[in-house]
Every structure is written in C-alpha cells, then in structure tokens.
Structure 1
Amino acid sequence: MARKNRQAEGLNLAFLDIMSCGLGAVILVFMLVKQNIESSPSETENLKKDISSLEQARDDAQKGLDELTSQLKKENIDLAALSQSLQQQRADLNDKSSEIQTAQSNLDQLKKSITEIKVPKKEDLVETQQVNEENYLLGLKMEGSKIAILVDVSASMTNEKLLDIIKTKSSSDQTKVSAAKWQRTKRVVAWLLARAPKNSQIAVVAFSEDAKQLGGTGWMPASSASVSGIMSSLNQVIPTGATNLQKGLSTVNKLSPSDIYVITDGLPTKGESNYKSLNPFSGCSSLTSNAKTISGECRKRLFRQTINESGLTQAKKNVILLPLEGDPEAAYEYWAWASSSDGLLISPASNWP
C-alpha cells in the first residue's frame, strides 16, 4: 500500500515537471513574440518609406511617360503638317514646271515666227558702215519734199578743244581733213543723205567764210548718183576759216527749201551786215574792226542778227550740234531757233554715227 502511494506520488511529480516545462515554454514563446512585436514598427516604417519611394518613382515615371506621349503626339502633328506642306510644294512645283514648259513652247513659237518674218530690203541711198542702226535718232528723221543740208566747214570742225583747233590751223591740209571731228562731220552728212525720202529733192551747202553747193547746182533728185556726187565734193573740202552762217543761210534761202538740216558746232564768228551801224554791236570790236577774236556775247548777238536777216520763215529747221569747247550759249540759241519752226536740236553721243 505504501509502495502504491509512492508510485502515484512519483507520477504526480513527473506530471508537474512536464507541466512546469510546458508553462516555461509558453512563457518563453510569449517573451519571444513580445520582443518581435516591439521590433516590427521600425521595419514597418522602413517598408512604408520604401513603398513611398516606389510610388514616387512610379509617379515620376508616369509623368515622364505622359510628357513623352504628349511630345510624340505633337511631333506626329508637326510631321503631318510637314508632309502636307511637302505635298503642296510638290504640287506647286508641278504647276511651275507645267508653266515653264508652256512658256518654253511659246518662246520657241515666237522664235520661229521671228525667223519667218521677211526683212524689208534696205532702202538707203548709200551704204553706211553702222550696224543695226535706226532710221532716226532721238526723233530726228529725214523728211520733206525739198531738203537742204547746211554743213559747217570752218576750222573749228576739226577738233573739239580750242588748243587742238589752233594747232590744226597751222598744220597741213592732210592733217585737217584727217582730223577726227571732220571725219565725223562727213559721216553725219552721209547718214542724213542715206535716209532722204526717194521722192524728195536734196541740196548740200558747205559754208565757212563763204558758201558753195556741193555736187552740182540747184535741186537734185534723192538718188545714189546724186549722193555719190555730193560726198565726192565734200571729200575735196578742207575745213578752214571763220564761221559765216549768214553766207550759208543766204545760199540756202535762194532754193526755198521745205526742211533745213544744219550741221555745226557753235555760234557764228563772222557775218555780212554793216555792224558799225547796228546799235547792239557797239561793244563788239571784233565785228566793227579787224580784231581776230570774238566774245561769247557778241557771237550770240551775231547769231540772232543772222537769223533775223536770213529770211527763212517757212522752212522747218533742225540742228545737229557737234561739241566745241568754250561756246556754252550755242545749244540754247540753236534750240530756240529750231523749236520756233517745230524743228529739233540734237547733240549726239560721241560714238554716233
């Protein structure tokens, strides 16, 4: 009996030991669990921070994606606009190409029509050396039924500058007729004669201190033979002496011309009137004495007196004024005289004709 009690007591102790151990284990578990719980908030905060960073990165990435998407849409729109513009330019280029082809076709047709134009036969009375020249110069045209050409053949018609004129005066006749201005004067006469109307009559008068008709007397028909004779006579003339326009006009006036063409380079230096009895010339010793020079003012007075005494009231006057140094009044005085009859004054370029 006593032994059974001892066995039961031993079992109870073992059970208590087991329960104690189990309780201790539970307490240990609770202790461990409590410790882990205390450490979890820090880890949670870290996790929250990581999540927040990831969310921020996601938002930034989304924002960047939206911007790229917007930019891509804009570039697509620009690309579409450029493509449309390119198409329009191609269309315009095609139109221009078509216009160029049409213009080229028209140009070819025009060239063809020009080449097919029949060029009228040249009607000049004499052949001149000019190329592609016109039948008129600045409105000056040879016209009229009775055409008189008055050519100044004084010493000044050799050169433009006074010093050169003085040198040429003392030179040989060959030097005088070879002078550039005199050669030009003869070309002007030839140019005018070549364009005289076929049904007109012509007369050429050369004047310096005296006057004489070239190529014959009286009116001559506008023919090659007449022009050839006139030019042959002109080639024999030696430019010398003073300029007596009154002598030339008096000779021409006897022919009663319808049109007069005067080729000269300045106002006259000599006349035919008795100037001593004319009041306007009281101060012009060159006209009332044997002086060898004449002032510009006296030349102007002399010209006006010459015109008044010329008697040429009906004829149309045209003047071709060649250059001369030291005679500034000539252009105006000759212009006033020519315009009074609806004529023309020209002072042509040095390369004409």
Structure 2
Amino acid sequence: MKKKRSLEGISLSFLDVISCGFGAILLMLVLVRAFSPSISTPTPDLSEIDRKLTKLLEENQTLEKNLIRLEQIKKDQELESLRIAKNLKNATEREKKLSQEILQVEEQKQELLRQEVEIKQKIETLQAGESSVSDTVAGIKIDSEYVIFIIDTSGSMRSDWLNVLSKVEQILVSYPTLKGIQIMDADGDLLFPYQGLVWNKANLQNRQEILSALARWPEQSLSNPEKGIKKAITNFYSPDKKIAIWIFADDYQGERTVDSLIQFVDNINLVTRDGKRLVTINAIGFRTGFESSRMRFALAMRELCERNGGAFIGL
C-alpha cells in the first residue's frame, strides 16, 4: 500500500510542473503579442508600377531607334566615303584626260598656225597675180566671211561621200576671215533645221561638229541643186555680208531651163557699184562625165559661177 501512494505523488508533481511550464509559455506569447509594435505591410500601387513599366518600355524603344539611326548614319558615312573615293578617282582620270586634250589642242593650234601661214601665202599669191584663181582650193575669192554649202545627197554622191567631206574641210580652212557656216542639201533642207536661218559660228569646235554631223547626215535629196540655190540666195542674201556659195553635185536633172535659174540669182545678187557681187558662187562637179545630165550640170554651173565671181571645178 505504501508503494502505491509513492507512485501517485510523483506523477502528480510532474504533471503540475509541465502544466505550469506550458502556462508560462502561453502567457509570454500573449504578453509579447500585446506589447510588440505593429508592422503594417503596404499594399503595392499597381497603376504606378504600370506607369513606370510603360516609361521604361518607351525609353527602351527610344534607345533602339537611336541605335538604328546611328547604324544608318554609320552606313551613310561609309557610302559617302566610297562616293568620295570614287569621285577622287574620276577626278584623277579626268585630270589625266584633260592633260591629253590640252596636248591635242596644242597640236591643233600648231596645225592651225601652219594652215594660217599657208592661207596667207595663198592670199599673197592671189594678190600678186602669180597663180590663176581657179587653181586654188577655195575658188576665185577667199575674202568671204560666210560660206554656204549646197550638197547633193543623192545615192550617186553618197558613193563618194568621204571625198565630199574632205573638200568641205579644205574649203573651210581656205577662208581666213570666216565668221559663219551654213549647210543644206540640194532641196534646200538645212543640216541643222532646228536652228533655223542662223549662221553656225566658224570656230574650230563648230567646224568639227559640222563635219561630224555631215558624215552622219541621213538626208537624201534629188539630183537637182536648183531648189537649194534659190533657197540659199533668198534666205541668206544680205547687203552687209560677203557670202560664198559652194555647190557640190554630180548631176542636174529637171525640166526647167538653166536660164531661169541664172535670171533668178541675178535679180537678187545684184552687181554693186564696183562691178562685183556680194555673193560668190562656186561649184565642184563630182564624177563628171559625158552623160547628158552631168554635162548639163557642168555647163550650168560654169555659167552661173562665172556670172557670180566664182569658179567651176570638175573632178
């Protein structure tokens, strides 16, 4: 019986201790919670976050655009560098070409000086009467300041076109005081119709352009220079100009008589007080022969040239 009491006493004391311990812990928790400062957790503002996020995105887009712009500027600068390099290369090539052209101009200048000396010698020879006028390339007179070429561009003349170009060039060189040039075919159509009745200047550049255009002239006229002669004398005669007309042809076809053409020219190209005419008419017969139309051309031009102070040359 004594042992049983002893066990019960020990058990009750242990439970009391445990209960008191738990109670103390609970009391401490209550006291700590009651007297501890309250910590409030702020509620996040979602609209502000969205605004900042939007701003960051916009700044990012701006940076991307600036980056793209910088890349484009870089590419443009590279292209500009290439363009400058190309222009520099072209400028160097042009400078080299210009140097060559200057040398060519100097050579042409020397050639012109040589031709000028020859022309002066011809003039002195003519003035001294040491040579017949018909032997000169330019015909009787080379004091005209304006020259008109009337050229038969028919098929028969085309076969000797290089010779035609050569004669035109020789005649142009023979006039020392030449100011204006005009070229038309046997029908009176101008080589440069868009210019109208305007004289082409007789400088070296224009002469070369005229010869080049004449070499490529596609016009094909009739084998009758009468129409061209009438247009030339009608449209270009002027009382203050000395004009030389050169007729290049190999044939004279048509029904009208030569006398009517001569009379037409006489009515316009009147004889001045000194017994001369302002317009000198010369002619070159290409591939002259005994055919009736060729003989007709030779006879007509011989009389027309003689009456107007010029010469007829048969090749």
TM-score (normalizing by structure 1): 0.42
TM-score (normalizing by structure 2): 0.46
